[in-house]
Amino acid sequence: MSLDPPTYLHSLQNNIRARPIPWEGAVRAGTITDKDLKKIKAVDKVRKDQRRQTVEAEPDAYRSLIIGGDQEKSVLDSASRRADVVQYMLVLTGDLLNDVPSLPSVLLEYPDPYRPFLPLLTNSTNPEDPIPLLTSAVLTSLLSSAQTEFPKSKPKTDQALPKLYQYLSTLTKTQDSGLQDIAVQAYSSLLRTKRSRELFWNQRDDTLNPLIDILRTAAGATADNDSSLWNGRTSIRTTTEAGLSGGIGLQLLYHVLLAIWQLSFEGSLVGKGLEKDQEIVALYTQLLRLSPKEKTTRLLLSTLLNLLEPSSNKSLLLPAAVTIRLPALLANLKSRHLTDPDLLDDLRSLTDMLSEYTSSQTTFDEYAAEVQTGHLRWSPPHRSGSFWRENARKILDDNQSELPKKLVEIMQKKWEDDKQVLAIACNDIAWLVKEVPENRAQLEKLGVKVRVMELMTDENEAVRWESLRAVGEWLRYSFDE
């Protein structure tokens, strides 16, 4: 998988290559040795084929120059006080790794090939500091090669990856899209194996969450305001060639989607967590509505398929997909003129999976699945008298009152940006009291009555009306008694 190098990093590297370094002065000061200088000059500012021949003729010498040896220091260690030399050597090392195919293997044969680089990641807390940035590029190349050369994970690689992930996460947490793109492209280069994806998931608060925040911004939502994910208000007309909502560029969006798609190959590991913590199905459904390019649509569909396919995920993710009306959106996508064969295959597989699921569901199953998502909308059961007459008692009694407890959990939230959720919850409570009045005490023990009465003074008119109706049902049976 090859991506164009991030513009910000590419420009930085070119600027450093063009800087004159007083090498002889560095030798006289004891910063580097004369032997080091000869090796550097033999591969600096020469043609790629000459550079490759030189390194291939003396692989151990260049391994010693870059990462040191039993008796010799790495040039990065010996020149640690000269930032200009360190920066130049990091860029040159990156060039050598790219231009000499055999060099990564030579370095990786050393017992601890990452030792000279890892301390440089914490050289500064400034995300624009060149040394950690350049170091992360070298480590990304080296660790990516390690996964290709040695598919079975090695302890030193497993120790280095989390440290690199931690540094890259500091870039994704900035508001600079150039720095974010450097990190996201590095993630894509690293998420090649099951082990690297597991380590990434283990650090998800730092690695994954900032990527999800970028997607939420693109979808017109935030972690504190998911209402647009559920009502689908944002339209494709809000997207432009420059980017989507919140100024997220299409290139950054694509790279973020690519990294999460790679993570989704561990669907059975990450699927439930992504839905519980991030409401990934709602987020990706909204992004599908907005997706301006086939390449982003392809990644969105493929990721959803990877997450929905594992049997361990179906009970949580399939109901969420139906509640968010993903089947209707897929039907709409089918009517578009799409040409990518992989996209069409994934669209067909998702459609078939959801069709099979919905055909086996009763109205009660649909209602229960919606409540379990933790986000209510005015779906047909909420206002159907026949539904409540047939199912109210089952809702109260099924699985140790699981659904009423979930309703209470939903009602305890403020829902500042989606008040209709509270109105719907009050509506449901009114129906439960009306159809099974003898179980009012059961609801009162859960704190339902107190919360409903609190909502009678809510600023939202619909919430006040539905809560008043629910309290009215309580009072009606109280007076009857």
Question: How confident is the model over 286-315, as a mean pLDDT?
Answer: 94
CB atoms within 10 A of CB 101: 11
Predicted confidence (pLDDT) at residue 3 exceeds the cutoff of 80: no
pLDDT at 418 over 90: no
Four-point Cα dihedral 69, 75, 80, 82, nearest 10: 170
Q: Between 185 and 124, where is the model more confident?
A: 185
| Surface-to-core class of residue 44, CB atoms within 10 Å of its CB (0-12 exposed, 13-18 middle, 19+ buried) | middle
Rounded CA-CA distance 150/324 in Å is: 42
Instruction: Decide if 366 contacts 322 (C-beta within 8 A).
Output: yes
Q: Could you tell me the pTM of the whole model? A: 0.83
Q: What is the pLDDT of residues 135-166, one digit of tens each?
A: 999 999 999 999 988 877 789 999 999 999 99
> Exposed (0-12), middle (13-18) or buried (19+): which is 160, by Cβ within 10 Å?
buried
Q: What is the pLDDT of residue 234?
A: 45
Confidence at residue 239, expressed as pLDDT on a 0 to 100 scale: 46
SS3 130: helix
Looking at every residue in the chain, the average pLDDT score rounds to 90
Angstrom distances, CA of residue 37 to CA of 76, 103, 137, 243: 13, 19, 23, 47
- Compute CA distances 129 → 251, 307, 314, whole Å: 24, 37, 45
State whether residue 309 is helix, strand or coil.
coil
Return the pLDDT at 315.
Answer: 85
Q: What is the pLDDT of residues 439-456, one digit of tens each?
A: 999 999 999 999 999 999
Say whether pLDDT at 237 is over 50.
no
- Check residue 232 and give its pLDDT: 53
| Residue 380: predicted pLDDT | 83
pLDDT of residue 434: 93
Per-residue pLDDT, averaged over 309-315, amounts to: 92
Rounded Cα distance, 465 and 153, in Å: 60
Mean pLDDT calculated for residue range 164-191: 96
Q: What pLDDT, in 10s, does the model give residues 391-414?
A: 999 999 988 889 999 999 999 999
Residues near 263 by beta carbon (within 8 Å), at least 6 away in sequence:
191, 197, 200, 201, 208, 270
Residues linked to residue 225 through DSSP beta bridges, in sequence order: 222
Q: How confident is the model at residue 224 (pLDDT cuts 50, 70, 90)?
A: very low
- The pLDDT value given to residue 474: 87
